[in-house]
Amino acid sequence: MAYDDFKKRVRDDWRDTLRGILTRARSLGPRAVLAFDLDSTLFDNRPRQARILREYGAARSLAALSTCEPHHWNTGWDMKEAMKACGLDDAQIEAHFPEARRFWVERFFTSDYCVDDIAIDGAAPFTHAVVATGALLVYVTGRHEGMRAGSVSCMERHGLALPDEKQVHLFMKPTLQEDDDAFKRDAHARLGRLGTVVAAFDNEPTHANDYRRKFPDATVIHLATDHSGRPVELLDGVISVPHFALDS
């Protein structure tokens, strides 16, 4: 499904759904578990994407790329589209894409670069609202352990609830090479052992659907931000929201 189609799924009463999640979490207290993805769910990583493309442009004397900004990534994770938005023509994109992709891979999955991320609107206060209910907050991310320091630093800078491994946990892949989908499915069992999963939040339709199947009594929230581009339809019952700001 295209990004705009996902945005069309956002209902006018989506804030009521988020408030209802907090109410249910409060009723269960420490037995409640809420799971949150990071990239494109709590964090907007387009500044990180733009920085990498700028640095590639500077390294290869490509003036159009050396001025790349986050808004050039508005079609999702498609680097070719971002390069086009920056001003490269089709021939230039095809010539540079393989090397630019390698350049991106070497940097994107690192602590040094993920510190550039910014919080999704309302993400920080919502994580603290979850903690205030007494529930367990679990960040379940496809980022690997090598990104832990940068991820926590970014959380701190933007005011999110920080992992303390008591009430707030951070589940990360052991290594970069581990498959994201398999890791998140394995994390479901860990979540279930912690308590009652009240809600799960993810931007990837595949992961949101997996939560929906595994925890049918939980509220599964899909962030209608961006995603990897896989042609996956959301299951019935998954609710799309644009962000976390409850007072807008």
pLDDT at 226: 82
pLDDT at 4: 55
For 111, the token pair is 């602590």
pLDDT at 227: 72
Rounded alpha-carbon distances, angstroms, from residue 198 to 134, 154, 214: 13, 26, 12
For 167, the token pair is 């009430």
The rounded distance, in Å, linking the Cα atoms of 240 and 7 is 8
The rounded distance, in Å, linking the Cα atoms of 116 and 133 is 30
Q: What is the pLDDT of residues 20-50, one digit of tens each?
A: 999 999 999 999 999 999 999 999 999 999 9
Q: Is 49 buried (19+), middle (13-18) or exposed (0-12) by CB count in 10 A?
A: buried
pLDDT at 82: 95
Do residues 32 and 136 lie in contact, with contact meaning Cβ atoms separated by under 8 Å? yes
Taking the domains of the chain in order of start, what are their residue ranges? 3-44+119-241, 46-114
Do residues 86 and 68 lie in contact, with contact meaning Cβ atoms separated by under 8 Å? yes
Mean pLDDT estimate for the chain = 94
Q: What is the pLDDT of residues 71-100, one digit of tens each?
A: 999 877 789 999 999 999 999 999 999 999
Could you list the mean pLDDT of each consecutive 10-residue stretch along the chain, which spans 248 residues?
67 96 98 97 96 96 94 86 96 97 96 97 98 98 97 98 97 94 91 97 95 97 84 93 92
Residue whose C-alpha is closest to residue 142's, from 86, 186, 104: 186
pLDDT at 5: 66
Domain 3-44+119-241 indexed as CATH 3.40.640.10: no
pTM of the model: 0.93
pLDDT at 221: 98
pLDDT at 215: 97
